[in-house]
Structure 1
């Protein structure tokens, strides 16, 4: 029998403190300092230009939370912290704090959570408001989180018997999925759509990857902009979950009409099991959509299959994308 304890409830109510600690640690580049100063509080404090008392208490809290280890009054990183939270690591992902814990995102959840539960979605357009500046933050902050997935998909696509020559990246954001395919498939031409300020970030990433000559942008709403036809591949990465099923069918129908014969559409999504409570990360994503969109959701494989059929696709398949918590949905 499970232990009866109020601790999970208390931990949930105080979870904002863990967010605050992580925001402070990332802003101070605390984890890199711990590695560089052999875990000595005085030297760490001097390096991050903070009080010794403040650093000690923050480090103790992060140790309690499992991000650090402490021995003989010295701190050291855990293996995961060293890989993901020191700026010298190629897998550093500290920047995602700038989006996931941005003030406007936190207020979206904490200001009036009863309202979005009663309403069955956010009041107003939430993150779907046209030209919402939060998506510029997303484009700049989330690259470390999506880069491995984007590169993995690009490797899959480049191995197709007939790799795509014309690629459309819908709601491209940072542009990393289209950029990765342009790098992996010589000669592939990519058209990216999104709001103009967001596309400027995507263009920067295309230039950094050396594919700007084959990377074109088209500003506007995915539902309104005329992006053309005869694409071999359409990317819908982290986009369909923002809408209800009928709107997804509307968008997928537009995508299908824009494909060349034999073309495919690829969506990257959080896909829960039929019970909608597992696996944990994908299942919990529905709550993200409840708070931030009017009618978005995390859809099951069966629901994606039905959307694809309703939009006119003959075949829909869903496969996990390890080690990420997401899945690849293929519409053919």
Structure 2
């Protein structure tokens, strides 16, 4: 056998296949570690399994196996019999860190989401979408869980959008936040533009959370709401900015066009529409995070997708805009989409 053939054979191994099939191990390990506050304890000081068992009232054997698994996955590091945080987990998994995002497990690994993913994946592949929860389920408690849990994952893109808006020669004074959820996109704009008044639209139960967050941020006097479905209620008019953060990807092309037309009709002269989306390249397999997001939409929505810049441009033109431009917002994997009149 040639050297080239031997090299090719040596690169073939079943590891990636097995890891893909057993992906639920990672979910389970992270859910257990976050629930036990393991990462915050390790952030205080490196510790043995025995020390962690005493502090968590969990089994020493269980913690030893869990921590070893996390070390294998690169989430924690092991020195002798002591475990410590990796640089990444120190930033994102220690509750004392400003970058803490452990709360995302409450939504992304919730029983509702796990069931949508795993109960019958063949069905949503065959159907081209999920007939389960999707995003059209009115007043479903999952959206409260989403709004509460997912803030750490979106706060960077909210601040990126607000920073862009703050550079405009004529900053917006009247802003509509569609599917406001936790409210932090509107709150970020209100912080960046002191004269801006925010109108948040979402289900009534979700808006209670957004209003609390706005009040905590000192924005209550500049924050009002419209309760109901974005498809059914009136949005009002004369907005200098309509924001659609993390919303269009839940729908097919035709529904996105309908929403964009409604947004365009709600604008004051010179107003703008901005969206936040995970935008893959035209090859649909890069960058990894935006490209993989399409699978999440397949499993959890009826017709959602991760749209390319070209597809977003077609939506824009079908809705009456001149086009759409896409701008990365690092370090977030999301992009800012500007619908241009």
Secondary structure of 1:127's counterpart equals coil
Alignment partner of 1:298 out of 289, 306, 309: 306
1:153-206 residue CA offsets vs partner (Å, 9 max, x unmatched): 112211210000000000011110001111111121100001111111111110
For structure 1, which segment, 310-319 or 126-135, has the greater mean C-alpha deviation from structure 2 after superposition? 126-135
Residue 173 of structure 1 corresponds to 181
Secondary structure of 1:148's counterpart equals helix
Residue 256 of structure 2 corresponds to 248
Distance (Å, rounded) in 2 between the aligned partners of 1:315 and 1:162: 21
Query: Given that residues 37 and 43 in structure 1 are in contact (C-alpha distance below 8 angstroms), is that contact kept between their aligned partners in structure 2?
Result: no
CA apart distance, 1:131? 1.6
Residue 137 of structure 2 corresponds to 129
Taking structure 1 as the reference length, what is the TM-score of the superposition?
0.97
Alignment partner of 1:41 out of 46, 49, 54: 49
Secondary structure of 2:47's counterpart equals coil
Residue 318 of structure 2 corresponds to 310
Query: Given that residues 127 and 134 in structure 1 are in contact (C-alpha distance below 8 angstroms), is that contact kept between their aligned partners in structure 2?
Result: no
Distance (Å, rounded) in 1 between the aligned partners of 2:45 and 2:189: 40
Structure 1's unaligned 5+ residue stretches are: none
Distance (Å, rounded) in 2 between the aligned partners of 1:139 and 1:264: 25
Query: Given that residues 308 and 316 in structure 1 are in contact (C-alpha distance below 8 angstroms), is that contact kept between their aligned partners in structure 2?
Result: yes
Residue 198 of structure 1 corresponds to 206
Residue 114 of structure 1 corresponds to 122
Structure 2's unaligned 5+ residue stretches are: 1-7
Query: Given that residues 131 and 195 in structure 1 are in contact (C-alpha distance below 8 angstroms), is that contact kept between their aligned partners in structure 2?
Result: yes
Distance (Å, rounded) in 2 between the aligned partners of 1:291 and 1:54: 32
Residue 142 of structure 1 corresponds to 150
Query: Given that residues 270 and 299 in structure 1 are in contact (C-alpha distance below 8 angstroms), is that contact kept between their aligned partners in structure 2?
Result: yes
Query: Given that residues 157 and 276 in structure 2 are in contact (C-alpha distance below 8 angstroms), is that contact kept between their aligned partners in structure 1?
Result: no
Alignment partner of 1:74 out of 74, 78, 82: 82
Residue 239 of structure 1 corresponds to 247
CA apart distance, 1:245? 0.2
Taking structure 2 as the reference length, what is the TM-score of the superposition?
0.95
Residue 84 of structure 1 corresponds to 92
Q: Structure 1 residue 214 and structure 2 residue 208: aligned?
A: no
Distance (Å, rounded) in 2 between the aligned partners of 1:186 and 1:127: 33
1:247-294 residue CA offsets vs partner (Å, 9 max, x unmatched): 100110000000011111110001111111111111111111111111
C-alpha RMSD over aligned residues:
1.2
Residue 186 of structure 1 corresponds to 194
